Amino acid sequence: MGNFFTLISIENMKLWKRISAKVMLIIMIVLIVLATGIYKYYTVSNHISDTTTTSTTTVTTDASENWKQDLQKKIDADKVQLTQEENSTNKMVATSVGPMKKTLAEDEYRINNNIKPESKESIWTRVTYFYTNGFSGLVILFTVIACTASVAGEFSEGTMKMMISRPYSRFQILSAKLIAIIIYGIVLVVTTFVINFLLLGILFGFDGISSKEMIWASGKISYEPAALKSLILLGLDSLQAIVFIIVAFAISAISRSRSIATGFSIFLVLVGAGIISLLAQFFTWGKYLPFAVTSFASYISSGTAVGGTSLSFAIIISLLYSALFCFLGYFIFQKRDI
């Protein structure tokens, strides 16, 4: 019987032999260095980190008891705003209900558990900020490109027929590709995260490496190590990447044309998903559309943006759609003459 792991290693080898795979990894590393460097330059030239942190620390040490009163005032004001937002008919206003609830819950948790606001950003906050706001999108883009090259590319190059007439089933061939692409994605994620973490640490210090942070999940706050929170957010971002990989994978297997698959998938990643999530904010049925609620990490990092959804809802909906796309891709690939 054909060894499936051999097939995965073959796909992995073919993927990395493409120049684009290496170039994308290099682009990623260059961008990390650039972005972190520019950020450091910006903070140094504006004396942001130095002045603000020192001043706040002095203020908080002096008025260490005042922060509770200040925070309570903010909470009261926020509560008023929340009721306004909740009663508002304006759909745009409604999108800030979720984030507002999250802020309120966090502030109340601070007061109840006597947790002072952090005076200085921890390394985990920084690295997560960089990742979820920038690099996660690039990881999606790059893995989608690798995916369409590996699946639709083989049709366009004519090598797919060389793969099919082998002692392996079509199911095995397609699955090996999917796994190899996910491995490529993992390599991108880990490289990005590690390099960015080290660079930020070297440039800004590894402060707060064992600090704790609040995690906002399913309407509750829990106080956990910041490292764990970073890992959870990273995992959720990777899950989002997998949703897009599966769609690109299905489109590739169905269209069999590299240009169509790449073009369509990138459009979906860059524009389509944004439009659909806008629809979800304005129409109640919108949240059931594919890609309406795929930014899983935002449920924890900034609160629910789409009314009537939760993280588990988002994951289940995306799982169902991914299963459907997967099924279509496999089904058509199995049946079709090549």
Q: Return the range that interacts with another protein (CB under 8 A); candidates 8-16, 72-80, 222-230, 273-281.
A: 8-16
CB of 166 to another protein, least distance (A): 5
Token pair for residue 336?
């079709």
Residue type, 239: L
8 A C-beta contact, residue 78 and residue 103: yes
The CA distance from 76 to 53, in Å, is 26
112 binds another protein (CB under 8 A): no
* Count of residues that interact with another protein, criterion CB under 8 A: 25
Residue type, 190: V
17 binds another protein (CB under 8 A): yes
Which 3 state secondary structure label does DSSP give 211?
A: coil
8 A C-beta contact, residue 270 and residue 282: no
Binds another protein by CB under 8 A, chosen from 57, 58, 88, 169: 169
62 binds another protein (CB under 8 A): no
26 binds another protein (CB under 8 A): no
Q: Which is nearer to another protein, 18 or 40 (CB)?
A: 18
Residues 296-315 that bind another protein (CB under 8 A): none
Q: Which residues pair with 177 in a beta bridge?
A: none
Binds another protein by CB under 8 A, chosen from 51, 55, 113, 159: 159
8 A C-beta contact, residue 83 and residue 195: no
Binds another protein by CB under 8 A, chosen from 100, 141, 164, 278: 164
The CA distance from 129 to 150, in Å, is 31
167 binds another protein (CB under 8 A): yes
Q: Which is nearer to another protein, 6 or 55 (CB)?
A: 6
Q: What string of DSSP letters covers 261-309? A: HHHHHHHIIIIIHHHHHHHHHH-GGGGGSTTTT--HHHHHHT---STT-
- Residues 283, 287, 238, 266: is their CA dihedral positive or negative? negative
6 binds another protein (CB under 8 A): yes
CB of 173 to another protein, least distance (A): 10
220 binds another protein (CB under 8 A): no
Q: Return the range that interacts with another protein (CB under 8 A); candidates 3-11, 109-117, 258-266, 316-324.
A: 3-11
CB of 202 to another protein, least distance (A): 36
Q: Which is nearer to another protein, 55 or 169 (CB)?
A: 169
5 binds another protein (CB under 8 A): no
Binds another protein by CB under 8 A, chosen from 83, 87, 158, 220: 158
Q: Which residue has the tokens 């860059």?
A: 270
152 binds another protein (CB under 8 A): no
The CA distance from 290 to 188, in Å, is 25
8 A C-beta contact, residue 200 and residue 127: yes
Please report how the helices 258-267 and 226-255 are oriented relative to each other, as an axis angle in degrees rounded to 10.
140
Q: How far apart are the first and last CA of the chain?
A: 23
Q: Which residue has the tokens 């004519």?
A: 158
259 binds another protein (CB under 8 A): no
Binds another protein by CB under 8 A, chosen from 62, 80, 114, 335: 335
65 binds another protein (CB under 8 A): no
Q: Return the range that interacts with another protein (CB under 8 A); candidates 4-12, 129-137, 297-305, 321-329.
A: 4-12
CB of 10 to another protein, least distance (A): 5
The CA distance from 12 to 210, in Å, is 36
Residues within the interface to another protein (CB under 8 A):
1-2, 6-7, 9-10, 13-14, 17-19, 157-159, 161-162, 164-169, 335, 337-338
